[in-house]
């Protein structure tokens, strides 16, 4: 391996982790959300047999999927009351804006496409482009499942956090409307794993490999999956 390329990859990896922290700083509810979304996405991608390069892109997309929130004024993100039409339009533009922020970085090009579309809906009523069904990039559809599941598990201002069996039932209800039904079917049947089965992500990506190393020199892999999949009764719920 070219030492210069390795050093550059480490610098980029450090910058990526900094970006994750900046995204989290916009809303305390986002703390850990990017990492967990990446973890769930990797778990699903592994179950689908995705190759290492795609898993690498999936990891990066999960970590950075909310980067577009940096383009939305804090006053809108923190607003307690209903949003105006103009404010709502700005919020809906954040996936496209986030994609634009990173699409020029070679190792983030694929991730940027998935980020741009992760709020599209299977039924075509999502944003920012209103794509539907298989017209939505597969990586974005997978990212949407992971993002939605973590939102259910951690709660929102308008809805408390769900227990695992309830979150699984709710995500099943979203299959075919908001989410790709085939991906949801695979996701809810995953075995109760504590961490992704495959943790060796790509280390030989062309140009600069963002996943080659973290700041401490290890493989660019998120921390172990949260233990929610090992909760009592999970297996029975997933097999229904």
Look up residue 185 and give its two tokens: 């079917």
Q: What is the pLDDT of residue 230?
A: 33
For residue 94, what are the CA distances in angstroms to 50, 67, 178?
27, 8, 18
Look up residue 155 and give its two tokens: 């709660």
Would you say the C-alpha torsion 223, 98, 12, 138 has a positive or negative sign? positive
Q: What is the pLDDT of residue 11?
A: 63
The answer to whether the predicted template modeling score (pTM) of the entire model surpasses 0.85 is no
Identify which has the larger pLDDT, 84 or 157.
84
228 pLDDT above the threshold of 70? no
Residue percentage of the chain with pLDDT more than 70? 72
Q: What is the pLDDT of residue 158?
A: 65
- Contact of 196 with 225, CB cutoff 8 Å: yes
Q: What is the pLDDT of residue 80?
A: 77
Q: What is the pLDDT of residue 169?
A: 92
d(Cα 191, Cα 225) in Å, to the nearest integer? 13
Identify the weakest region by mean pLDDT among 45-54, 69-78, 93-102, 207-216: 207-216
Identify which has the larger pLDDT, 191 or 121.
121
Q: What is the pLDDT of residue 13?
A: 62
Prior bond of 128 cis (ω within 30°): yes
d(Cα 112, Cα 49) in Å, to the nearest integer? 22
d(Cα 193, Cα 21) in Å, to the nearest integer? 26
Per-residue model confidence as pLDDT tens digits over 152-177: 888 666 678 888 888 889 999 999 99
Q: Which helix (H) or strand (E) holds 58?
A: helix 52-64
215 pLDDT above the threshold of 90? no
99 pLDDT above the threshold of 50? yes
Most trustworthy range by pLDDT among 29-43, 94-108, 110-124: 110-124
Q: What is the pLDDT of residue 136?
A: 98
Q: What is the pLDDT of residue 142?
A: 97
197 pLDDT above the threshold of 80? no
Closest by CA to 157, choosing from 21, 24, 30, 19, is: 30
d(Cα 203, Cα 184) in Å, to the nearest integer? 29
């Amino acid at each position: 391996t070219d030492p210069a390329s390795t050093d550059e990859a480490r610098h980029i990896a450090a910058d990526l982790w900094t970006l994750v922290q900046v995204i989290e700083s916009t809303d305390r509810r986002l703390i850990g959300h990017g990492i967990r979304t990446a973890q769930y996405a990797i778990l699903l991608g592994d179950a689908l047999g995705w190759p290492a390069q795609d898993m690498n892109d999936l990891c990066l997309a999960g970590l950075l999927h909310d980067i577009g929130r940096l383009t939305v004024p804090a006053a809108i993100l923190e607003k307690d009351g209903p949003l105006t039409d103009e404010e709502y339009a700005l919020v809906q533009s954040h996936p496209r804006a986030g994609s634009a922020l990173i699409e020029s970085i070679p190792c983030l090009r694929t991730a940027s496409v998935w980020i741009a579309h992760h709020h599209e809906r299977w039924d075509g009523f999502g944003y920012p482009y209103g794509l539907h069904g298989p017209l939505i990039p597969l990586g974005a559809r997978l990212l949407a499942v992971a993002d939605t599941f973590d939102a259910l598990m951690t709660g929102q201002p308008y809805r408390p956090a769900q227990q695992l069996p309830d979150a699984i039932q709710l995500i099943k209800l979203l299959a075919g409307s908001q989410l790709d039904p085939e991906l949801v079917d695979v996701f809810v049947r995953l075995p109760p794993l504590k961490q992704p089965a495959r943790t060796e992500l790509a280390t030989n990506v062309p140009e600069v490999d963002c996943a080659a190393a973290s700041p401490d020199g290890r493989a660019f892999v998120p921390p172990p999956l949260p233990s929610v999949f090992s909760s009592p009764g999970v297996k029975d719920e997933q097999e229904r």
